[in-house]
A and B are shown apart, each in its own frame.
Chain A
Amino acid sequence: MAEQSTVTFIITRQGGPDSTPYEETFEIPYRKNMNVISGLMEIRQNPVNAKGEKSTPVMWDMNCLEEVCGACSMVINGTARQSCAALVDQLEQPIRLEPMSTFPVIRDLIVDRDRMFDALKQVKAWIPIDGTHDLGPGPRMPEKKRQWAYELSKCMTCGVCLEACPNVNDKSNFIGPAAISQARLFNAHPTGEMNQSDRLNGLMEDGGIDGCGNSQNCVQVCPKGIPLTTSIAAMNRATNIQAFKNFFGSDNAH
């Protein structure tokens, strides 16, 4: 097999949030074991496009470079995934890079994932433990529960599940799968459970869990293999019960 000498990238670029997107092709020298990010770094060093014109460095987001932070998600050859974990040798050429379409573009491949963090606020995806005095050790968690809760805790807010969801788009206000699963995670925690009704009520706000249409793309695409559709169904049950409690019940706290 002849050694490949160059790698071609076709990148959808955009100068700023309001500028028109355009495509630009780059050819860079091939190296062994490259990933998409090392290709982008190569372009950054020498931003000359395939026509030989001087261009600007392509901007992208990254942090951990080992598929745990979720910052580097982009659409690679049509599917959303982490660019740090996308190996050039395993990709069809030319490699097409686009920003994820569900999120507003900041510049080139960098998107604004604020809506995901707002979603986590909506469902209060944390455990309030601060008091004015030492509250002592919290309750213990059963090991079996810890095992599945750990899987849910792997979410890196990467946005791939929102990108794949047909109901997350600019016409709908659906919160998306990731935050629903996080509500389940924090409700599973023995201390977090004390505030479970707050999270469930957050899920029942407008644009909450009801926007799910069961396309189940999320569970297929999540790079962390999180059982998102199980979480959604579990939270469906929990929110329904909470709705009955809110209406018929006398104890609002729990």
Chain B
Amino acid sequence: MAEHREFFYRRLHSLLGVVPIGLFMVQHLVINHFAVYGEESFNRAAGFMAGLPFVLLLEIFVIYLPILFHAILGVYIVFVARNNTRTYGFFRNWMFRLQRITGIVTLVFIAWHVWETRVQIGLGNADLDYSLMEGILTNPFMFWFYVIGVVSAVFHFANGLWSFLVSWGITQSPKSQKIATYAVIVVFFAVSYLGVRTLIQFAYGV
């Protein structure tokens, strides 16, 4: 592996973005969506996740380390691109650019989000329950910060899924790539709906 280190890291980057990070994100938003069915059911769902066996190990190896690796290499990938949508305003080139923008936005959002929730719970300053999120999201500024963060993360995931299919050589023909584009658009709207619907529930109780 030593001689092809860069290749290996880039493939790992692509893989981690989908498994486990992407899957975790979808799962996270599905669990949170239980808030829409009432405070009680959110607390039960979140409590179930927090009560999984080996939860700290799961968090470290399925969430923190993969995200850290994806983020560090990702920032480097953003840095080496010279965006040129002004001259070459093609759809995919815009997706390329947005993938980089949403990556950075998502990174800032996740850092803040983890600090405000998981870290505070870990330090014993907060409890994992409905009212924690309600307290954060009733502030309109934070509400919009979360909306932007969640939509960016979902975009980055959906478009990343498209790139994943190309990077792993699954979609090769232009036709299959086009169908994949439609498929990830559906993923984007469906998962965004889950996320934003939950935020509205916490912020406005509806």
Number of interface residues of B (CB under 8 A): 38
**CB distance B92 to A236 under 8 Å?**
no
Tell me if A213 and B81 are in contact (CB < 8 A): yes
Given A166-B82, A166-B84, A166-B96, A210 and B90 contact (CB-CB distance below 8 Å): no
Q: Which one of B79, B99, B169 lies within 8 Å of A171 (CB-CB)?
A: B79
| Any B CB within 8 A of the CB of A243 | yes
A210 to B169, CA, bound (A): 12
B131 at the interface (CB under 8 A from A): no
Cβ-defined contact, B5 with A169, below 8 A: no
**Main secondary structure on B side of the interface with A:** helix
How far is it, in angstroms, between the C-alpha of A236 and the C-alpha of B87 when the chains are bound? Answer: 27
Which of A171, A209, A230 is B173 in contact with, Cβ under 8 Å? A230
| Interface residue SS majority, chain A | helix
B96 touches A213 (CB 8 A): yes
Task: Check if B88 sits within 8 Å of A217, measured CB to CB.
Answer: yes
A214:B92 contact, CB within 8 angstroms: yes
Contact A206 B6 (CB under 8 A): yes
Could you give, for residues 1-38 of chain B, a 1 whenever the CB lies within 8 Å of some chain A CB and a 0 otherwise? 10111111111000000000000000000000000000
CB pair A233–B172 under 8 Å, yes or no, is yes
Q: Is the CB of B92 within 8 A of A215?
A: yes
- Cβ proximity bits A219-254 to B, threshold 8 Å, 1 near / 0 not: 011000001011011111111100100110000000
Residue from A169, A214, A229, A239 within 8 A of B80 (CB atoms): A169
Contact code string B88-106 (vs A, CB < 8 Å = 1, else 0): 1010110111010000000
